[in-house]
Amino acid sequence: MADKRGVTIRELAQAAGVSIGTVSRALKGQPGLSEQTRSQVLDVAQQLGYDTAKLRTGKPRRILFLYNRSIGSLANNPFYSYVLHGAETACREAGVPLSIMSVLAGDDVASQVRRHESDALLGAGYFDPEAMDAIRRCELPLVLVDHFFPGVRCVNDDNQLGAWLATRHLLDGGARRVAAIFGPLAHHSVSLRAKGFRRALYEAGRLFDPDYEVTLDPALEYRDAGRDAMRRLLALPEPPDAVFAYNDSTAIFAIEFCRERGLRVPEDIRFIGYDDIEEAAHNKPSLSTVKMDKEALGHVAARALIEGDIEPNDASLPVELVVRESSRVGDVDVAGAEAAPARKPGRQAAAAKG
């Protein structure tokens, strides 16, 4: 029989042929498993001498909110600050304390997590594979928000549909040269938004031109990167007449650059962003965007941890198109964009897809 302290939950899951989440549920006596699966896990745990005290029954005593420190202060982040607030609300409702910890490359994540005395983790935003390995080695229940990692419970908004709605709105308004500005495509949400953008072009029979899709320069400060991306688009032989930006902040920086160049928004060039941060409604002109319930992302993720619902899954929360001054043309509105039927792809689009 193996020494109790030498058996990890990951090894137990592998020996039983089930997921870590299934092991957690079986040892905690939580619902959602067949009696056969529960008995199988308990038998293997006994055979290996797994210390069942490692998994306390009931809801977590404390949840730890993890974020990548490279995004800067949560207090100044117009997206993840709302995610945090949603998670805190769910924890407050359940009587579970929530603490916060930033993660940097090379951190000894396990020792820092132990100091927080947490027994469940909520990771918000992108973590590179090395950081994810360090987080998973903590062997605690884990849910990710605005990220995807195989074998982990994830909570996202419907990024691909949101980008499709945004791009179709620009196309339905008569745009002939629709461009896009994206952040790092390694990020799950960004890559899906790029797919939604390209899908909308394909379905509209538009040839995808890579020159009209630019990525922020990671070597520049965030504001400068947004302005630089717009500079590159305006330098094209035929500049775009509409732009989809992968988030609202980038759209606002791009609009700022266009107005300094003497372009009128939306008369000369139209814009739409994503996230519906507070500044979007107050920008001049007000920014069209894709809205999702940012607090709901955090709330749903925290509730999953509190209820022990950590089976691998990628839940998608709904999105909504919000049309404001930056893209408004005639009578094109939210309902029109959402209800418009998919157009039959043309030959050019089919070639682009291949």
Q: What is the pLDDT of residues 8-31, one digit of tens each?
A: 777 888 888 888 778 877 876 666
148, two tokens? 């995807």
Output the average pLDDT for the chain: 87
- Under 8 Å CB-to-CB from 314, ≥6 apart: which residues? 148, 154, 156
Residue 69, pLDDT above cutoff 90 = no
Of 12-26, 165-179, 247-261, minimum mean pLDDT range: 12-26
Q: How far apart are CA 136 and CA 110, in angstroms?
A: 9
What is the reported pTM? 0.79
pLDDT of residue 52: 63
Whether residue 238 is predicted with pLDDT greater than 50 in this model: the reply is yes
pLDDT of residue 59: 79
- Model confidence pLDDT, tens digit, residues 33-48: 788 888 888 888 888 8
pLDDT of the residue at 339: 35
At residue 310, the pLDDT reads: 86
Query: What pLDDT was estimated at residue 32?
Result: 67
State the DSSP string of 281-328: HHSSSPPBEEEE-HHHHHHHHHHHHHTT--SSEEEEE-EEEE--TTT-
CA angle 134, 136, 138 (to 5 degrees): 80
Cβ atoms within 10 A of the Cβ of 6, count? 11
Higher pLDDT, 137 or 87: 87
Tens digit of pLDDT for each residue in 274-328? 999 999 999 999 999 999 999 999 999 999 999 988 888 898 999 999 999 999 8
pLDDT at residue 177, rounded to an integer: 97
Whether residue 236 contacts residue 212, with contact meaning beta carbons closer than 8 Å, is answered with yes
DSSP 277: -
Whether the pLDDT of residue 91 is over 90: the answer is yes
> In the predicted model, what is the mean pLDDT of residues 193-211?
96
Calpha distance 326→241 (Å, rounded): 12
**Which of 31-40, 103-112, 212-221 is predicted least confidently?**
31-40
pLDDT of 51 higher than 80: no
Enter the tokens of residue 133: 């390995």
Cα separations (Å) of 282 from 57, 279, 326?
48, 5, 12
Q: Is the pLDDT of residue 71 over 90?
A: no
Q: What is the pLDDT of residue 54?
A: 56
In order of 153, 193, 196, the CA distances from 146 in angstroms are: 11, 12, 16
CB 122 within 8 A of CB 146: no
